[in-house]
Structure 1
Amino acid sequence: MPRMRRWKKKTRLQKMLFLSKGIGILVGFFVIITGGLLLTAKLMGPPPILTPQTTMLYANNGEELGEMAHSGQKRSWIPLRKMSPALIQATIAVEDKNFYEHHGFDFKRIAGAILADIKAGSKVQGASTISQQFARNLFLTHDKTWTRKFMEAFYTLRLEMNYSKNEILEGYLNTIYYGHGTYGVQSASSFYFGKDARSLTVGEASLLAGVPKGPGYYSPLLNEERAKQRQKIILQAMENNHYLTQQEAVTAAAQPITILNKKEEQQASLAPYFQAEVMRQLKNELKLDPKQIELGGLHVYTTLDPAMQHAAEKEVAERTADNPTIQTALVSMNPENGEVKAWVGGKNYKQSSFDRASQALRAPGSTFKPFLYYAALKNGYTPSTELKSERTAFTMGTGTPPYKPKNYNDVYANDFITLAEAIAVSDNIYAVKTNLFLGPNKLVQTARQFGITSPLAKVPSLALGTNGVSLLEMVNAYNMFPNGGQHVKPTFIKKITDHNGQTLYEAKNEHKQILDPAITFVMTDLMRGMFDERLNGYTKVTGASIDQLLSRPAAGKSGSTPTDSWMIGFTPQLTTGVWIGYDQGKELDSINDGSYSKKIWANYMESALKNVKADNFKKPAGVVSAVINPANGKLAGNSCPVTMRQYYVKGTEPKETCNEHAGDTIAPKKEKKNWWQKLFSW
Structure 2
Amino acid sequence: MTEQPRRRTTTTTKPKTKKKKKKWMSGKGWFYGIFFTIVIGIVCGIIGYLLIVLNGERLLQEHGSKLEFGEASIIYDVNGNEISRLYDVLDHREVAEFSEIPEFMRNAIVATEDQRFREHSGLDFWAIGRALVKDVIARSAVEGGSTITQQLAKNVFLSADKTFFRKATEASIAVALEQELTKDEILTMYLNRIYFGKGIHGVKAAAEYYFGVELEDMKLWQAATLAAMPKAPNRFNPLINPDESMNRRAVVLRLMYEQNYITETEMKEAQAVVYEVPPNQNDMKTGKYHAYADFVLNEAMKVTGLSEEELRVGGLHIYTSLDPQAQDAVDKEFADASNFEESKDDQIVQGSMIIIDHRNGQIKAIAGGRDYSSRGWNRVDKKRQPGSAIKPIVAYGPALESGKYFPWSTLKNDQKCFSNYCPQDRWGAVAVSMTQAIKDSRNLAAVWMLNEVGVKQGAAFAEKLGLTLEPDDRNLAMALGGLTRGASPLQMATAYSVMANGGKSVDPHTITKISGRKNWEYKEPPSQQLMSPDTAWYLTEMMQSVVEKGGTGARAAIDRPVAGKTGTTQAGIPGYRGNGIKDAWFVGYTPEWTAAVWMGYDKTDVNHLLTKGGGQSAALFAKVMRPALKGVAKDSFKRPSNVKEDKPPITIKNFKAQFSEVEGRVFLSWDPLDEKEITYEVYRKESGASDYIRFVDTLNPQIEDMSVFPGMTYDYYVVAYDAASNQRSTPSNVISVVIPEIDIGIPEVPGETDTPTPPVTPPGDGNEGGENGGDGEGTDPGTPETPGDTGVPGGEGESGLIDPPPPSAGNSTDGVSVGGF
Query: TM range, normalised to the smaller chain?
Result: 0.5 to 0.7
Q: CA deviation at 1:529?
A: 1.4
How far apart, in 2, do the equivalents of 1:373 and 1:522 lie? 10
Aligned to 2:524: 508
Aligned to 1:436: 451
Q: CA deviation at 1:454?
A: 4.3
Tell me the matched-pair count: 399
Aligned to 1:307: 325
User: Which of 559, 565, 584 in structure 1 is aligned with 2:567?
Assistant: 559
Q: Do residues 384 (structure 1) and 404 (structure 2) align? A: no
Q: Do residues 414 (structure 1) and 429 (structure 2) align? A: yes
- Residue segments in structure 2 that go unaligned for 5+ positions in a row: 1-58, 93-155, 158-198, 200-281, 571-581, 652-718, 720-726, 731-785, 793-805, 812-821
How far apart, in 1, do the equivalents of 2:636 and 2:728 lie? 25
Supply the AA of the counterpart residue of 1:330: M
After the TM superposition, which residues 9-88 of structure 1 pair with which residues of structure 2 at under 5 Å, given as runs?
52-69=70-87, 71-72=89-90
Whichever structure has more helix as a proportion of its residues is: 1
Could you report, residue by residue, the CA deviation over 1:503-530 in whole angstroms, capped at 9, with x for unpaired residues?
Answer: 4333436422221111211111111110
Compared with structure 1, are the counterparts of its residues 628 and 590 closer, same or farther at alpha carbon in structure 2 (3 Å cutoff)?
farther
Aligned to 1:480: 498
**Match of 1:487, SS?**
coil
Q: CA deviation at 1:313?
A: 1.3
Aligned to 1:281: 299
How far apart, in 1, do the equivalents of 2:464 and 2:552 lie? 26
User: Which of 620, 636, 640 in structure 2 is aligned with 1:600?
Assistant: 620
Compared with structure 1, are the counterparts of its residues 554 and 418 closer, same or farther at alpha carbon in structure 2 (3 Å cutoff)?
same
Q: Do residues 460 (structure 1) and 476 (structure 2) align? A: yes
User: Which of 552, 558, 563 in structure 2 is aligned with 1:542?
Assistant: 552
Supply the AA of the counterpart residue of 2:602: D
Could you report, residue by residue, the CA deviation over 1:469-496 in whole angstroms, capped at 9, with x for unpaired residues?
Answer: 1111110111001111111211110000
Could you report, residue by residue, the CA deviation over 1:409-449 in whole angstroms, capped at 9, with x for unpaired residues?
Answer: xx214221011111111110011111112221111100011
Could you report, residue by residue, the CA deviation over 1:519-566 in whole angstroms, capped at 9, with x for unpaired residues?
Answer: 211111111110234xxxxxx42123x15x421111011100021011
Aligned to 1:317: 335
User: What do you get for the CA RMSD once the two structures are aligned?
Assistant: 3.9
How far apart, in 2, do the equivalents of 1:268 and 1:528 lie? 41
Q: Do residues 621 (structure 1) and 641 (structure 2) align? A: yes
How far apart, in 2, do the equivalents of 1:583 and 1:568 lie? 20
After the TM superposition, which residues 166-181 of structure 1 pair with which residues of structure 2 at under 5 Å, given as runs?
none
Supply the AA of the counterpart residue of 1:482: A
Q: Do residues 364 (structure 1) and 386 (structure 2) align? A: yes
Aligned to 1:333: 356
After the TM superposition, which residues 521-532 of structure 1 pair with which residues of structure 2 at under 5 Å, given as runs?
521-532=537-548
Compared with structure 1, are the counterparts of its residues 496 and 368 closer, same or farther at alpha carbon in structure 2 (3 Å cutoff)?
same
Q: CA deviation at 1:342?
A: 0.7
Supply the AA of the counterpart residue of 1:362: R
Could you report, residue by residue, the CA deviation over 1:544-592 in whole angstroms, capped at 9, with x for unpaired residues?
Answer: 3x15x42111101110002101100001100000000111123665544
How far apart, in 1, do the equivalents of 2:288 and 2:616 lie? 22
**Match of 2:358, SS?**
coil
After the TM superposition, which residues 96-115 of structure 1 pair with which residues of structure 2 at under 5 Å, given as runs?
none
Supply the AA of the counterpart residue of 1:355: N
Compared with structure 1, are the counterparts of its residues 335 and 553 closer, same or farther at alpha carbon in structure 2 (3 Å cutoff)?
same
Q: CA deviation at 1:284?
A: 2.7
Could you report, residue by residue, the CA deviation over 1:310-347 in whole angstroms, capped at 9, with x for unpaired residues?
Answer: 10111122212744611101010000111110101111
How far apart, in 2, do the equivalents of 1:630 and 1:461 lie? 34
Aligned to 2:9: none
Compared with structure 1, are the counterparts of its residues 646 and 352 closer, same or farther at alpha carbon in structure 2 (3 Å cutoff)?
farther
Aligned to 1:578: 597
Aligned to 2:536: 520
Percent identity, aligned pairs only, is 28
How far apart, in 1, do the equivalents of 2:306 and 2:790 lie? 52
How far apart, in 1, do the equivalents of 2:650 and 2:367 lie? 38
Compared with structure 1, are the counterparts of its residues 440 and 51 closer, same or farther at alpha carbon in structure 2 (3 Å cutoff)?
closer
Aligned to 2:368: 345
Q: Given the two structures, how large is their TM-score scaled by the length of structure 2? A: 0.44
How far apart, in 2, do the equivalents of 1:646 and 1:555 lie? 22
How far apart, in 1, do the equivalents of 2:479 and 2:292 lie? 31
Kept in 2: contact 1:386–1:418 (CA 8 A): yes
Kept in 2: contact 1:488–1:510 (CA 8 A): no
Kept in 1: contact 2:439–2:552 (CA 8 A): yes
Compared with structure 1, are the counterparts of its residues 517 and 635 closer, same or farther at alpha carbon in structure 2 (3 Å cutoff)?
farther
Aligned to 2:706: none
Q: CA deviation at 1:350?
A: 3.1
Supply the AA of the counterpart residue of 2:552: T
How far apart, in 1, do the equivalents of 2:83 and 2:791 lie? 45
Kept in 1: contact 2:304–2:520 (CA 8 A): no
Kept in 1: contact 2:586–2:614 (CA 8 A): no
Aligned to 2:417: 393
**Match of 2:74, SS?**
strand
Q: Given the two structures, how large is their TM-score scaled by the length of structure 1? A: 0.53
How far apart, in 2, do the equivalents of 1:574 and 1:630 lie? 38
How far apart, in 2, do the equivalents of 1:567 and 1:63 lie? 31
Aligned to 1:160: none
Compared with structure 1, are the counterparts of its residues 57 and 288 closer, same or farther at alpha carbon in structure 2 (3 Å cutoff)?
same
Supply the AA of the counterpart residue of 1:585: T
Kept in 2: contact 1:387–1:416 (CA 8 A): yes
Kept in 1: contact 2:77–2:324 (CA 8 A): yes
Aligned to 1:110: none
Kept in 2: contact 1:557–1:569 (CA 8 A): yes
Q: Do residues 426 (structure 1) and 441 (structure 2) align? A: yes
Q: Do residues 446 (structure 1) and 461 (structure 2) align? A: yes
Compared with structure 1, are the counterparts of its residues 589 and 273 closer, same or farther at alpha carbon in structure 2 (3 Å cutoff)?
same
Kept in 2: contact 1:391–1:412 (CA 8 A): no
How far apart, in 1, do the equivalents of 2:421 and 2:283 lie? 55
Supply the AA of the counterpart residue of 2:542: L
How far apart, in 2, do the equivalents of 1:265 and 1:507 lie? 39
Could you report, residue by residue, the CA deviation over 1:139-159 in whole angstroms, capped at 9, with x for unpaired residues?
Answer: 9xxxxxxxxxxxxxxxxxxxx
Kept in 2: contact 1:488–1:509 (CA 8 A): no
Q: Do residues 469 (structure 1) and 484 (structure 2) align? A: no
How far apart, in 2, do the equivalents of 1:614 and 1:629 lie? 33
How far apart, in 1, do the equivalents of 2:464 and 2:502 lie? 14
Could you report, residue by residue, the CA deviation over 1:102-137 in whole angstroms, capped at 9, with x for unpaired residues?
Answer: xxxxxxxxxxxxxxxxxxxxxxxxxxxxxxxxxxxx
Q: Do residues 374 (structure 1) and 397 (structure 2) align? A: yes
**Match of 1:518, SS?**
helix
How far apart, in 1, do the equivalents of 2:355 and 2:332 lie? 14
Q: CA deviation at 1:364?
A: 0.4
Compared with structure 1, are the counterparts of its residues 605 and 644 closer, same or farther at alpha carbon in structure 2 (3 Å cutoff)?
farther
Supply the AA of the counterpart residue of 1:295: V
Could you report, residue by residue, the CA deviation over 1:67-90 in whole angstroms, capped at 9, with x for unpaired residues?
Answer: 11154469xxxxxxxxxxxxxxxx
How far apart, in 2, do the equivalents of 1:595 and 1:630 lie? 34
Kept in 2: contact 1:495–1:507 (CA 8 A): no
Supply the AA of the counterpart residue of 1:404: C
How far apart, in 1, do the equivalents of 2:331 and 2:464 lie? 32
Supply the AA of the counterpart residue of 2:372: Y
Compared with structure 1, are the counterparts of its residues 498 and 51 closer, same or farther at alpha carbon in structure 2 (3 Å cutoff)?
farther
